[in-house]
């Protein structure tokens, strides 16, 4: 098995070098071919997806996971739209980030290039395969992909259609689907051939990946996201945002898991928010003060210490009453997974303090945490969410899949001209020009 994965990684490395030199026109042609092929094969894809859904139901797969697995309806159309949206994004490659004159006719450029070969291990959402592959293609990276076993048939079908669509346009090996867990273990040992691993899954899974490879890892573990309703919040906005952040789509990492409420507004807010959340079948778990204010009918359960750090991915929400914005920030920075956290307030000073001091990849004022998404941010799509503090943070789109290299162009210049006995000074003057390939 390890030999097979190594050969696939070698092929991906070769394909990545060709893809890195491919024009934007060719990459866009391949993306449009993929979008057209997905549309033409809609029934074939949905039939494969129905098989996975049936198997998931028989295996007792939880309802939120079945929802993530389902590719029918609007989700299929959105998946195709996402491919075209990635295609329409500006070319991330060959962009001049800086240009400096070191001396007359000695010019230094910093130019964006692909990372190389990216291994992505993702959850049971088959639309994630299309997102990831499209982003890797547009950014000139070869992709080794491993999806969740729940979506095995759907992923195989999608990968076959996408590879068939790009035959004659791209080099074979630009995208490879790894079918089993054994391949993942082998993948983690190929540090000479794979440049980056992006895991999407549980905290336990991400930690396993990080501790079992020498390859750089980019991603996030949990999505413990908060909505804080400040004393100066508009009640209509606050109820609407809290309900949307929790219930709009519960099985995703940017859904709210904890609701913090300022004591000054808690009676008025909870009297409206609790019925609205219960009407959406949300199970509420509150601290002592939340219970006292909202538990007249016994509909709110007592929260435990574990609730403050739990990613439910389900219709459950922990509720805590706090006495200040500072206390809310302290709670969030202690229990948050540094993914996405929001404040609802009409107090600009409270909002600014929250936005500055909450240590998360996305921090939001008067809007739902569900906006923390590559497509919604205008990135075309996302390969995942990163809570890393190096290279890329938040929704990782095309910019997060490129790095840069320095290009120095001279005219017979040698270092001895500057370090020798007759030391010539550098000019180090910024240039208002771009490197031309």
pLDDT tens per residue, range 268-280: 999 999 999 999 9
More confident residue, 223 or 192: 192
Q: Is the per-residue pLDDT at 50 higher than 90?
A: yes
Please report the pLDDT score of residue 201 as a whole number.
Answer: 72
Q: Is the per-residue pLDDT at 407 higher than 90?
A: yes
Mean pLDDT in residue range 55-63: 89
Please report the pLDDT score of residue 269 as a whole number.
Answer: 96
Per-residue model confidence as pLDDT tens digits over 21-32? 999 999 999 999
Q: Would strands 394-396 and 340-344 be described as parallel, antiparallel, or unpaired?
A: unpaired
Q: Which one, of 121, 117, 133, lies nearest residue 191 by Cα?
A: 117
Residues 6+ away with beta carbon under 8 Å from 40: none
Please report the pLDDT score of residue 89 as a whole number.
Answer: 93
Please report the pLDDT score of residue 185 as a whole number.
Answer: 85
Mean pLDDT of the residues in the chain? 91
Q: What is the pTM of this model?
A: 0.81
Please report the pLDDT score of residue 221 as a whole number.
Answer: 65
Q: Is residue 417 very low, low, confident or very high in pLDDT (cuts 50, 70, 90)? A: confident
Please report the pLDDT score of residue 20 as a whole number.
Answer: 94
Distance CA(76)–CA(307), nearest Å, equals: 34
End-to-end CA gap in the chain: 41
Residue 436's CB is within 10 A of a number of other CB atoms, namely: 7
Alpha-helix runs per DSSP H in 21-151: 24-40, 42-58, 63-69, 74-88, 126-138
Q: Is the per-residue pLDDT at 296 higher than 70?
A: no
Q: Is residue 1 very low, low, confident or very high in pLDDT (cuts 50, 70, 90)? A: low
CB 134 within 8 A of CB 35: no
Mean pLDDT in residue range 60-85: 90
Q: Is residue 19 very low, low, confident or very high in pLDDT (cuts 50, 70, 90)? A: very high
Q: Is residue 81 very low, low, confident or very high in pLDDT (cuts 50, 70, 90)? A: very high
Question: In the numeric block, which tokens belong to residue 3?
Answer: 């030999």
Q: Is the per-residue pLDDT at 85 higher than 60?
A: yes
Q: Is the per-residue pLDDT at 209 higher than 70?
A: yes
Q: Is residue 366 very low, low, confident or very high in pLDDT (cuts 50, 70, 90)? A: very high
Residues 6+ away with beta carbon under 8 Å from 93: 20, 24, 112, 113, 114, 139, 140, 402
């Amino acid at each position: 098995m390890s030999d097979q994965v190594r050969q696939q990684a070698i092929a991906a490395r070769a394909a990545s070098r060709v893809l890195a030199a491919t024009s934007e026109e060719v990459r866009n042609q391949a993306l449009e071919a993929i979008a057209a092929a997905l549309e033409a094969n809609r029934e074939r894809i949905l039939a494969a997806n129905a098989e996975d859904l049936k198997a998931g139901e028989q295996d007792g797969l939880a309802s939120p996971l079945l929802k993530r697995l389902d590719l029918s309806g609007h989700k299929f159309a959105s998946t195709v739209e996402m491919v075209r949206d990635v295609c329409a994004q500006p070319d991330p490659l060959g962009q001049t980030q800086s240009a400096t004159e070191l001396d007359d006719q000695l010019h230094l450029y910093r130019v964006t290039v692909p990372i190389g070969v990216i291994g992505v291990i993702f959850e049971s959402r088959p639309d994630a395969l299309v997102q990831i592959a499209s982003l890797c293609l547009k950014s000139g990276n070869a992709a080794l992909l491993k999806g969740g076993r729940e979506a095995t048939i759907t992923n195989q079908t999608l990968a076959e259609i996408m590879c068939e669509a790009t035959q004659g346009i791209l080099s074979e090996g630009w995208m490879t689907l790894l079918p089993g867990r054994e391949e993942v273990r082998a993948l983690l040992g190929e540090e000479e051939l794979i440049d980056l691993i992006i895991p999407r899954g549980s905290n336990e899974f991400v930690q396993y990946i990080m501790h079992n490879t020498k390859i750089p890892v980019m991603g996030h573990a949990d999505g413990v996201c908060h909505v804080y309703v400040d004393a100066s919040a508009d009640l209509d906005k606050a109820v609407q945002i809290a309900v949307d952040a929790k219930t709009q789509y519960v099985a995703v990492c940017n859904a709210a898991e904890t609701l913090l409420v300022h004591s000054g507004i808690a009676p008025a807010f909870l009297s409206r928010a609790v019925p609205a959340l219960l009407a959406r079948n949300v199970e509420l778990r509150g601290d002592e003060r939340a219970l006292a204010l909202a538990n007249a009918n016994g509909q709110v359960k007592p929260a435990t210490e574990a609730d403050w750090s739990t990613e439910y991915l389900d219709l459950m929400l922990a509720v805590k009453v706090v006495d200040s914005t500072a206390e809310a920030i302290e709670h969030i920075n202690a229990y948050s997974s540094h993914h996405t956290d929001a404040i609802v307030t009409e107090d600009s000073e409270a909002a600014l303090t929250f936005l500055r001091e909450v240590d998360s990849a996305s921090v939001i004022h008067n809007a739902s945490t569900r906006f923390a998404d590559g497509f919604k941010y205008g990135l075309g799509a996302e390969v995942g969410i990163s809570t890393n503090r190096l290279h890329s943070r938040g929704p990782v789109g095309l910019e997060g899949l490129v790095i840069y290299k320095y290009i120095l162009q001279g005219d017979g210049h040698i270092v001895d001209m500057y370090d020798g006995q007759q030391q010539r000074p550098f000019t180090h003057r910024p240039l208002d020009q771009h490197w031309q390939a």
